[in-house]
Amino acid sequence: MIHRVIFSDTLPRATLRQWLNPIWWLSDTERNPAWSWWAWYWRNPDANFKSRIIGISSHAPRRWYSAVPGGELWPARGWCFAITMTPWCLPRYWIGHRGARFEKGHGWKTSGGFTTLTWRNSHATNAGPTS
């Protein structure tokens, strides 16, 4: 069964001047003020590029079609294939897998940002203590 979720929240659109400026791509205009600037930069060195240049975070509405209900990126176990559509862009994909040891994903997330993720599943049998 295919589920549809519509996201209407957006980030402000990048101006043409920002869009053409590679220095702006390597910054993050949505920085969390609770973090120091250097810690946030090392965490998100290219946040504007991923969310607004190649991403579709500033496009609304975004329609997310997925086999996983509720607009979730990850199923309980196994694969997730999804398509995000906006009025002015080509369809964008998301492929994610949650296995016993790792969670992997590639494509455009529900937020509209592009990412390639791989991390260790905290519920894996070989994972260390969580506290």
**Strands (DSSP E) found in 67-124:** 78-85, 92-98, 102-108, 114-120
Task: Give the distance between the most distant pair of CA atoms in the chain.
Answer: 50
Q: Where are the domains of the chain?
A: 3-120
Residue 91 has what pLDDT? 86
Residue 13 has what pLDDT? 76
User: Using one digit for the tens of pLDDT, what is the confidence trace for 58-117?
Assistant: 777 778 788 777 767 777 778 888 888 887 778 888 888 888 778 888 888 877 788 887
Q: What tokens were used for 5?
A: 């979720």
Does this model's pTM top 0.85? My answer is no
> Alpha-carbon distance 29 to 41, whole Å?
11
> Alpha-carbon distance 8 to 76, whole Å?
26
Residue 129 has what pLDDT? 42
Cis, bond preceding 91 (omega within 30 deg of 0): no
Q: What tokens were used for 56?
A: 């579709």
User: Using one digit for the tens of pLDDT, what is the confidence trace for 13-35?
Assistant: 778 898 888 888 777 777 677 77
Residue 122 has what pLDDT? 58
